[in-house]
A and B are shown apart, each in its own frame.
Chain A
């Protein structure tokens, strides 16, 4: 069974601070996705990383895929209240009909 551990579980910060969320596994994934989920809604895809060592930027969000494709990180610069939500990483194992293994989630709260 593939497992993805996220840390931290909870994060409460003030507007303008930087933060990093980690997603770690002992398994190799063909790709890794990051989602944000708001209360009462389904997850929404933020980014997919495919190549080991890949770095992608989405405005103030920077995503990195580990060289061995077992881990990933999400860094947010100058967090804003609109960044509040549940962040989920999800790994896609090779040849598995795009079945995703989701991480345990990181709940972020950004206050003024």
Chain B
């Protein structure tokens, strides 16, 4: 299993540009999450999904959109990039079957908006 994969690894955007951060998992996990991590800080939840076709907002959803058309994929869309969205973005997944489940994280996408 590849686990959780994210692309791209690095990206520089200009203000106002759009992009999609890709996330895929091959563990047949039900729940998937997008977090952002600012330098030296913990992670903050942007959006999450408990299954295909179901998404919901997390703590910091403004400026982002998501979709979950399949169990495997959970892309994150930035429509009008702003400098405040400069961060490292992590995708994660979990089976969703109990409190002892392990949340698996991808390697992250480092985004800079100039």
**Are A and B bound to each other?**
yes
Which residues of A line the B interface, CB within 8 A? 1, 4, 6, 30-31, 33, 40-45, 48, 50, 88, 90, 92, 97-105, 107
CB–CB A42/B92 < 8 A: yes
The smallest C-beta distance from A47 to any residue of chain B, in angstroms, reads 10
**Which of B12-20, B64-72, B74-82, B98-106 touches A?**
B98-106
Which residues of B line the A interface, CB within 8 A? 4, 31, 33, 35, 40-45, 48, 50, 56, 58-59, 90, 92, 94, 96, 99-103, 105-108
- Tell me whether A33 and B108 are in contact in the complex, defined as CB-CB below 8 angstroms, given that A102-B44, A105-B42 are known contacts: no
Number of A-B residue pairs, CB cutoff 8 Å, is 65
- Tell me whether A33 and B42 are in contact in the complex, defined as CB-CB below 8 angstroms, given that A97-B48, A97-B50, A99-B48 are known contacts: no
CB–CB B108/A40 < 8 A: yes
CB–CB A98/B31 < 8 A: yes
- Tell me whether A105 and B94 are in contact in the complex, defined as CB-CB below 8 angstroms, given that A43-B105, A45-B103, A48-B99 are known contacts: no
The smallest C-beta distance from A12 to any residue of chain B, in angstroms, reads 15
In the complex, A6 Cα to B42 Cα: how many Å? 10
CB–CB A42/B90 < 8 A: yes
CB–CB B103/A100 < 8 A: yes
CB–CB A99/B33 < 8 A: yes
CB–CB A103/B42 < 8 A: yes
- Tell me whether A102 and B99 are in contact in the complex, defined as CB-CB below 8 angstroms, given that A42-B92, A44-B105, A97-B48 are known contacts: no
In the complex, A107 Cα to B106 Cα: how many Å? 20
13 residue pairs of the A-B complex, CB under 8 angstroms, read: A40-B107, A40-B108, A41-B107, A41-B108, A42-B90, A42-B107, A50-B99, A88-B42, A90-B43, A97-B96, A98-B101, A105-B41, A107-B40
